[in-house]
Structures are given as C-alpha cells and as structure tokens.
A and B are shown apart, each in its own frame.
Chain A
Amino acid sequence: MIRFNPDAAGEKMLRRLAGGTSRRGILSRLGAALVAAPVFPLLPVSRAEAAKPDRSPEAKTAFARSAQTKDDTKCNYWRYCAIDGALCTCCGGGIHSCPAGAEPSPVSWVGSCINPDDGKAYMIAYRDCCGKPACGQCGCDNTDRETQLYLPQLNNNVIWCFGTSSMEYHCSTAMMIGAA
C-alpha cells in the first residue's frame, strides 16, 4: 500500500498557497490548521530515499490497475484516484482550470495517485471551483486513501470553497503538485 505523510502534504500545499494567494484571513486559519501537523502520525513514506515502491499490479489499488492517461473527462483518469464531485473538465473547465465565472478555492484536499505511464506516484491537489451552482456533469467518487473528517486534507466530502467569495460548489479540478 502506498502511504504518504500528511505533514508533508500540508507543507507542500502551504508553500504552493503562499505563492498564489494574498488572502491573509484564510492563511491565518490555515496556519491554525497546520498547528495540528505535529500530532499527525508519522507514517511509512514513499520518499526518494526509501526503498523503491512496489508498482506491480498486485500492489496497486483497483483504481490504479484500471487508470488511464488519455481522457480527463472520465472517472478513471489517473489523477482522479481520490476525487469526489463533478469533473471541471466536463463543465467547460480544464484539469487545473475552473469554468468561466467560477472561482478556484485557495485550499484543497489531496490524493496520491499513480500515473500508469511512468509508474510513479504524484501528489494531486483537488481544488474545488466555487461560486456557481453544482455543474452536475461527470460525477465521480473515487476513494483511494481517502479518510474521514478528522484528517480533512485526505477527505473528499468536505467542500473546500474556503476563502472564496462564495462557498457554493461548482466542480473539482485535479492539479499536479509534484512527486509524492
């Protein structure tokens, strides 16, 4: 099983966020959220220095075994391993762009998904697009390594429209953050 460190996930998210937003309020609340980081469990991590991860079919989840890299409007597109909601690619948006009139959330939940072409795991930020009614197209609910509310950055039920002018959920994107 592939596991990754929520601490590291939070740090990467924060770095990314720091470069991309000026919302001081949301940052301070995020800072408060990350106070939780030291109490997160230290998990076996697929770091570069760790042993080479097992990417054989036997070690892959059901989603990873059937994932594809060609069509990002399908639920089995590899980046969607932990997405929940409408795919923005089906709503007039793109894999990392919101449809016209929607507003990307500055924060997100994350997934660690395997690209079947190179066999490597990547961290994906599922950033909600907000401020418009639910798109309703291409509803997906994939749950690889998806957890519960006490580990919210790995939970896909939360509407992540924090820090946006409206919390109305429109659709979800799947942005590449980097190697997991």
Chain B
Amino acid sequence: MTLKGTLKKELGTNGLGMNGVGTALARLLLGATLVTAVPAAPLLAETLGEPEEPQVGTIDAPKPNWFYVRGGWGSAGSSIFDAGTGKMVGMVSTSRDSDLAIDPDGKFYYVAETMWSKVNRGTRMDFVSVYDSKTLKLVTEIPTPGRLIIGGFNTNFVLSDDGKTAYDYNFDPASSVNVIDMVKRKFVRAIELPGCASLIPNPGVGFSALCADGTLATVAVKGASQDITRSAEFFDAAADPIFSNVIYDRKKKMAVMLSYTGLVRTAQIGAAPVIGMPFSIQEAGGMRAADVKPLDIAWYPGGMQPMALHRATGMLWVLMHKGEYWSHKEGAEEIWGLDLATKKVVKRYPVEGHPSNIEITQDDAALIMINGMENDARIIDSRTGETKHEIKNAGGGLITVVQPR
C-alpha cells in the first residue's frame, strides 16, 4: 500500500475532515510510534502495524493479450491494458508524437521520440529511448539525426524480425530512413528515399516502403551501401491511396495493404516482393465494389488505423463506414471480418462511437480493441461480436500488440 493509501485509510477510519489532513499527515511524519498508536478500525482487512515503505512495482514481459494504447493527439504515454480483464497493468513513457516498437525478444520497449532542451524550443534532440520491459525504467537513449514528428502510424519506426535493426522514417521535408543498430545501440547511417514512406520490414534484405509513384520500393541494406529497387506500379497514390498503416505478418513475411476504396492487396515480402492481385472488400461482402465518384454512397474503410490482422487465422478486421469517397478518416459504423484466404467477409459487427483505430490480440482469444476521438476503448470478442470490456479514458490513439515471432 502506498503512503497515499495509508493516509486515505486514516482519514476514513478516524472520520477526519479536511482540517484533519494536517493532523493525519503529522502523525505519519512523526513515525511509527504515533501511527501504531492509532487503533485499527475493525473493517480494515490489513493490520496497521509496521510503518510502510514506498515501493515500485514491476510488470511481466510483453504478453500476447496486452493492448498498448496511445493517448489522444498531443498526449503522452501508452497505457497497457490486459485484454482478458480490461484492467490497466502499466504505461510505457511514449512522449508526444513518438513511435513505439516492442523488442521481439520481449526484453525492451523502444520509443523513437523528439524533445527540445526548452520543451517547445531550444535545441532539438531526436533519439530512441530504450526501456526495460519489466521495470519500465529507461535503460539508455540512442541519438538519431531526426525523425518525422507525427505519431499515429505503425510504419514510421519498425524493427527487423530479429530485433537487431531498427528503421526510423525521417522527413525534414525530404524523405530518408535512419538505420539503427539495436545491439550496439548506435545510429548507423541515413538512407535517402525520395517519394517513399510507410516502412515494412524485409527480413534479410532491409526494408520496403510505399512510394508516391505507385510502387513498392525495396531497400537492400549492404553495409555502407544499398540497392534500391522498385516493383512495377500497382496503385495510384493520388487517386486511390493505400493507407500508410500497412500490416506486416512476421511469420508469413506478408504485408497487407488496404486502399481508400477498399481494395485489399497482400504482398509477399522478399528481395523482390510479389504483390498479389487486389480484390474489393465490398465485393467480398457481396456488394458491388466502391468507387471514387462523388454521390456514390457505399461502405468505405476509414480511420487512422483502419485494419487489424489476426495472423494465425488470416482474418482481417476493418473499420467500415457508409459514405462517399474521400471520407477515409471517418470513424466506423461497423467492423468487417474478412477472411483473406477465401476473400469473403464472414462477420459484420455494428459499433458505436465512430472508432478510428482497431487492433487485435494475436493469441487464440483474438480479442479486438477499438478506440477513437472520445478516448474510450472497447474490447470485443472477434468470434461473437460481444463487448467484453468498456474502458473509459483508455486513450484515443494508435493501438499496438505483441506480434508472434
């Protein structure tokens, strides 16, 4: 029990008003003799005997049924919620507009962030903060030359599958990617990547990225040099963009991409990524495909983090709303469950509150979390659509989960 807890109990058992706070505090500060002199109330479960020492807790290593929920725009901290209980278990210190990545070995949390020597002015400092996953204490900081200050995306700061290298997207306002050695905890070098962003890990190669010319660039990092190759053009970045929050499946080495109109594409990631044929999520739901034309009311995907993949079952969960094209930031009215193997929408769950972020735990429980502008979150059983927990003030930003290796 904390000092605050002790004080509260004293106030309760002795019926002290506000004027009694000083008296109670004085008792505490005077030490054990006085504290023990206060008779314990019969309702108290614990014995108020020995004076207590302030303590600090620890938490478990990252668990598959934890959601890491970023506060709303401009706020700091990623609250960790247990999907099973709906209870908060801790918080990772993610500063405003930072990006969080979880060490695949579960030992560390990495936070790519930016601060100034005088809070909002002075010398700018960019770095990756390394936190011990159990104590949540800062281990070290790795200085970097810069990063895009934005938050809200899971593709700006990504780790290689072995966790040994981090790729941190920078935009100043030219595009580059900082390569960071997470073993030596040292910035290695920056790679210029004009016209591309939205990073996808590419095991054994480096990383891939979506580009404004409608291609997927692959950067093969080779010591001090790199080869940058591009796929054939497969999407129109201005007419029907692919959401920057691409999902990557480590086990299958597969990326899942979703466009504003609802075209779903998967890509096999490798030295030369193989991009599958797109299919329409609306057609997968038994409707006609959505269009880019005004006044064409259809179901569209929308939000900031509009989809979540349950990797073991290949189920893609998408935030959908009814509207016209160019409504891609609108929150959801329904969650659609799309089976990527059969290309069929097999579940549709109505949701309230227009959530704009969705994620799903990667364990067998497959619990979905949604949140949005109101900062409240909801945990839903993906099999039944049943709400398991409603969490007030959970946070309204990006949701992160532990990825299976």
A residues bordering B, Cβ < 8 Å? 1, 3, 6, 26, 29-30, 32-33, 35-36, 39-41, 43, 57-65, 107, 131, 133-134, 141, 143-152, 154, 157-160, 162, 165-168
Contacts and interface: CB of A to CB of B under 8 A. Distances in A.
Contacts, number: 140
A57 B211 CA distance: 33
8 A-B pairs closest in CB distance: A36-B195, A36-B194, A32-B174, A149-B197, A33-B174, A148-B244, A150-B197, A39-B213
B194 A35 contact: yes
Given A150-B195, A157-B150, A162 B326 contact: no
A147 B328 CA distance: 9
A62 B124 contact: no
B110 interface: no
Interface string B170-181: 011111000000
Contacts of B214: 41
Contacts of B150: 149, 157-159
Nearest to B156: A149
B292 interface: yes
Contacts of B173: 26, 29-30, 33, 107, 152, 160, 162
Given A39-B213, A61-B324, A141 B244 contact: no
Prevailing SS type, chain B contact patch: loop
A150 B237 contact: yes
Interface of B: 74, 97, 114, 116, 120-121, 124, 148-150, 152-153, 155-156, 169, 171-175, 192, 194-198, 209-214, 233, 236-239, 241-244, 292-295, 323-329
A43 B212 CA distance: 12
Contact of B242 (A59, A148, A159, A165): A148
A41 B239 CA distance: 10
Contact of A41 (B121, B238, B244): B238
A62 B174 CA distance: 33
A64 B295 CA distance: 12
B234 to A, nearest CB: 12
A160 B192 CA distance: 20
B151 to A, nearest CB: 9
Contacts of A36: 175, 194-195, 212
Contact of A62 (B116, B169, B292, B324): B324
A63 B241 CA distance: 19
Contacts of B244: 148-150
B148 to A, nearest CB: 7
Given A149-B155, A151-B241, A167-B124, 15 more contacts: A3-B238, A36-B195, A40-B213, A40-B237, A41-B213, A58-B294, A61-B324, A131-B120, A141-B329, A147-B238, A152-B171, A157-B150, A162-B173, A168-B120, A168-B121
Nearest to B239: A3
Contacts of A59: 294
Nearest to A154: B238
Contact of B233 (A1, A29, A41, A160): A41
Contact of A165 (B121, B196, B239, B325): B121
A113 to B, nearest CB: 12
Contacts of B239: 1, 3, 43
Contacts of A26: 173
Nearest to A166: B121
B294 A60 contact: yes
Contact of B292 (A1, A6, A65, A152): A1
B152 A40 contact: no
B172 A162 contact: yes
